[in-house]
Structure 1
Amino acid sequence: MESNIAGKVVVVTGASSGIGELTARHLAGLGARVVLGARRRDRLDAIAAEIRAGGGKAEVAAVDVARREQVDALVATAVNAFGRVDVMVNNAGLMPLSRLDQARVEDWERMIDINLKGVLYGIAAVLPVMQRQNGGHIINIASTAGLRVRPNMAVYSATKFAVRAISEGLRQEGTAYNIRSTIISPGPTDTDLPSSVTDPEMAKSVREQHKIAMPTLSVAKAIAFAIGQPDEVDVNEIVLRPTALS
C-alpha cells in the first residue's frame, strides 16, 4: 500500500499538533510530500524542519481555515511548490462543548466556522486542482459525535454530521473526475482537542473520558490506509474508537 503514498502531494490543515501533525509526519515518512497548514507558523516551521532533517519534503503556510482566502493560499502553496495536490486532509477542528441552554453562541459560531465552513473552504480550494488533474483524494476528519448525539454535544455533533453529509455528496459528485472521498470518524483521541472545551464542568468530564483515548498515531495510520489503497478503490469511511469505550 505504501507505494501509492510515496511521491503524493498531501495538504493537511490543523497540522501544528494532534492528528494533523502526526498525519503529516507519518505520511512524510512514507514518502509523501506534505504541505502543513495551521495558525501557529512557528510550530509548523519546527515540524517541517524535522521532516526535512529526516529526508522528507515539507512546505508550510500559516492558515486560519475560517478564512477562505487563507485556505486558497494554502492550496496555492502546494501547487506552486510541487505542481499538484493529490490529497487534501481537512483536519482542523475544535470542540467547545456545552449545553444548549447555556447559549454559548460565540462557541457555536466558532465550531461552525472551523469544523464546517473550514472543510467546505478546503473542498472549494482543492476541487478545481483535482478536476484539472482528473484525480485526487479528499479526506475529511469527522468524529463519532457525527454518528450519535449526546447531551452537551448538540452543536459539535451537528458540525460533524454535516461533514459526513458533505463527504458523501462529494463522493458521488467526484466520481466523474476520479476524486476519492473518505470520512475519518475518530472517538476520543490523545490530542489537545479537549483544551478547546470552554465550559469548566464539561472540560472536566472530557478530560476524564480521555483517560482511555486512542493514540493519535492510530488515526494517522487510518488516514494512510485510505490513501494507500489502489486508485480504483475508494475507502469511504473509517470509524475508530478506543477498545475500552462502551
Structure 2
Amino acid sequence: MARFEPHPDRRPALVAGASSGIGAATATQLAAHGFPVALGARRVEKCQELVDEIRAGGGEAIALPLDVTDADSVKSFVHGATEALGEIELLVAGAGDTDFGRIHETSTTEFEQQIQIHLIGANRLATAVLPGMVERRRGDVIFVGSDVALRQRPHMGAYGAAKSALVAMVTNLQMELEGTGVRASIVHPGPTKTSMGWSLSAEKIGPALEDWAKWGQARHDYFLRAADLARAITFVAETPRGGFIANLEIQPEAPLADVKDRQKLALGEEGMPGQ
C-alpha cells in the first residue's frame, strides 16, 4: 500500500502576481501541464490576456483582481477562484515588485511597502488557503523567494529584508505543517530578466551594478528567463507525494568562455602556468 494517496487528477492552482514576469510564465506553464489556474494581479486586464491565450491552447484559466496588500482583496480572490475552479490544491505566491536604493536613502514608508508586499502579502495568501489544505490533508504552497535573501545585495536592502523574513516564515511553516500532508516550498530565483526593477532609471541601476561588481555579485551578464523559473516551480508542484522540495535556488548559467580566453587565464603573461 502506498504511503500517500497520489495527487488528485484535478489540482486547481492560484498564481499571485500573474500579470507579467515569473508569475505569468508560471501560470502558462501550469496550465500547459493540466492545472486549472486562477491568475491574480492588480493589472487584471493583463491576466485576462493570458487567460485568453491559455484557453485558446486548451487550458482552463480565469483572471481575478488581486492586491496582496489588501486583506479583503486576498479573500475575494481566493473565494472567487474556489467558486470557479474548486478547492485550491496549489498556491504560488509570487506577487511583488522592488525598487533600488541604499537603506539610509530609503524612507521607512518605502521600506515598509516591501515588507507588506513580499512578506505580509504572502502570509495573507497562505493563511487563506492553508486551513482547507490541512483539512483535506494535502496541498502545496510554493513561495517565490530570491537569492538576495540568501546573500544580501547592496541597493536591495528593503527587498532583501522582506525576502529573508519570508525564508523564516516558510521554514516555520515546513516545521508546523509536518504530518499534515501539506507541503511548503520556496524557490529562489537568481538574476532574472523581467520588468521588475529593470525599468528603473540608469541613475538607480548604475550604482547598484557597480557595487555588485565590487562585492563579487555580478560575475557575468547572463540572466535567467521567466520561463526558467516557471519550469522549476512546476517541477516542485508536480513532485510526487512522499517527498517535497524544501528549498530550490536557480542561477543563470554563465556564457561559454572562448577556449583561447580560458588558456590565457590558465597561463601567466610569459606563457608559464599561472601562480
Task: Return the TM-score normalized by structure 1.
Answer: 0.91
- Pairing 1:122–2:125 present: yes
Distance 2:209 2:45 in 1: 27
Query: Counterpart of 1:21?
Result: 24
Q: What residue is the counterpart of 2:251 in the other structure? A: 241
* Other structure's SS at 1:88 match: strand
Asked whether 1:106 is paired with 2:116, we answer: no
Larger Rg: 2
1:219 corresponds to = 229
Structure of greater relative contact order (alpha carbons < 8 Å, 6+ residues apart): 1
Alpha-carbon shift at residue 82 of structure 1 (Å): 2.2
Question: Following the alignment from structure 2 to structure 1, what is the Cα–Cα distance between the partners of residues 19 and 76?
Answer: 17
For 2:142, give the aligned amino acid.
I
> Which amino acid in 2 is paired with 1:167?
V
Aligned to 1:36: 39
Give the alignment's Cα RMSD to 1 decimal: 2.1
Aligned residue for 1:73?
76
Deviation string, structure 1 residues 139-170 (Cα, Å, up to 9, x no partner)? 01010000011222222111111111111111
Q: Which amino acid aligns with 2:87?
A: R
How far apart are residue 201 of structure 1 and its match? 2.8
Matched with 2:213 is none
**Which is richer in helix?**
1
CA gap 1:205/1:54 in 2 versus in 1, 3 angstroms? farther
Secondary structure of 1:168's match? helix
Match runs of 1:129-148 below 5 Å: 129-148=132-151
Corresponding residue of 1:83: 86
Does the Cα contact within 8 Å between 1:194 and 1:207 map onto a contact in 2?
Answer: no
Q: Partners in 2 of 1:54 and 1:21 — Cα distance?
A: 15
Q: Separation in 2 of the partners of 1:88 and 1:237?
A: 16
Name the CA distance, whole Å, in 1 between partners of 2:206 and 2:39: 31
Q: Give TM-score, length-normalised by structure 2.
A: 0.82
Letter in 1 for 2:206: K
- Identity, % of aligned positions: 33
**1:164-243 maps to which residues of 2 (within 5 A)?**
164-195=167-198, 197=200, 200-204=202-206, 211-243=221-253
